[in-house]
Amino acid sequence: MSNTMQPQPVATTLLETSRLVLRRWLPTDRDLFREINADPDVMAFFPFRRSHDESDAFLGKLNDMFSENGLGFYALELRETGEPLGFCGLTYANMPGIFPAETVEIGWRLAARYWGNGYVTEAAEALLDFAFVEKDIKAVVSFAVADNNRSTAVMKRLGMHRAAGMDFDHPRVPETHPHLKRHVVYAMTPEEWTRRNARLVEEA
């Protein structure tokens, strides 16, 4: 048997902020990913929890889901310690009949013990800048269950506008969970992003 050490996967970094690294997923993220997908608080507005096996299988696919233009749900890592916190990313909404095929959404999920520190807002700001400045994406949407006030609060902090005319009943939420079907939509354009950032500079 060979004693040669096998090389460890190298995380590919997409973006860095003052506190965070947005990168591809590593096998060492497995426990954190399991935690997120099984936590009843984190998954309170989803109709299912993932078992460890289901979570592991999905984690194995995440890096393959990144499209050629860099869209996908990236792992969030705390720069100071290197520990994974959750994820944030941009991806095609993939909801025919609800959004046009080119619609890009921004979404996130964070382990509950990291809530309340502004990490999601910080990561999402970096991703919106990436979307509009680097990738020339024409609009980004975000959506959540109507009662998910924690998530919609992030959308508001980002400066996204309420797009009530785009609200929808989520087709992948089963009829057994009617309270989770209705989703509210927020949206952002490059022009709105520019105005939002200019206003923050003026207020600083």
Please write the tens of the pLDDT for every residue from 154-202.
999 999 999 999 999 999 888 989 999 999 999 999 999 999 999 999 9
pLDDT tens-digit readout, 103-150: 999 999 999 999 999 999 999 999 999 999 999 999 999 999 999 999
- Given a contact cutoff of 8 angstroms between Cβ atoms, the answer to whether 192 and 122 are in contact is no
What token pair was written down for 122?
């910080």
E strand intervals along 9-71: 13-16, 20-23
Mean pLDDT of 16-36: 95
- Residue 26 confidence (pLDDT): 92
pLDDT digits (tens, 9 = 90+) for 71-102: 899 999 999 999 999 999 999 998 999 999 99
Sign of CA dihedral 156, 161, 165, 170: negative
Q: Enter the pTM of the model.
A: 0.88
Domains and CATH numbers, the chain: 13-203 (3.40.630.30)
pLDDT tens for 39-52 read: 888 877 787 778 88
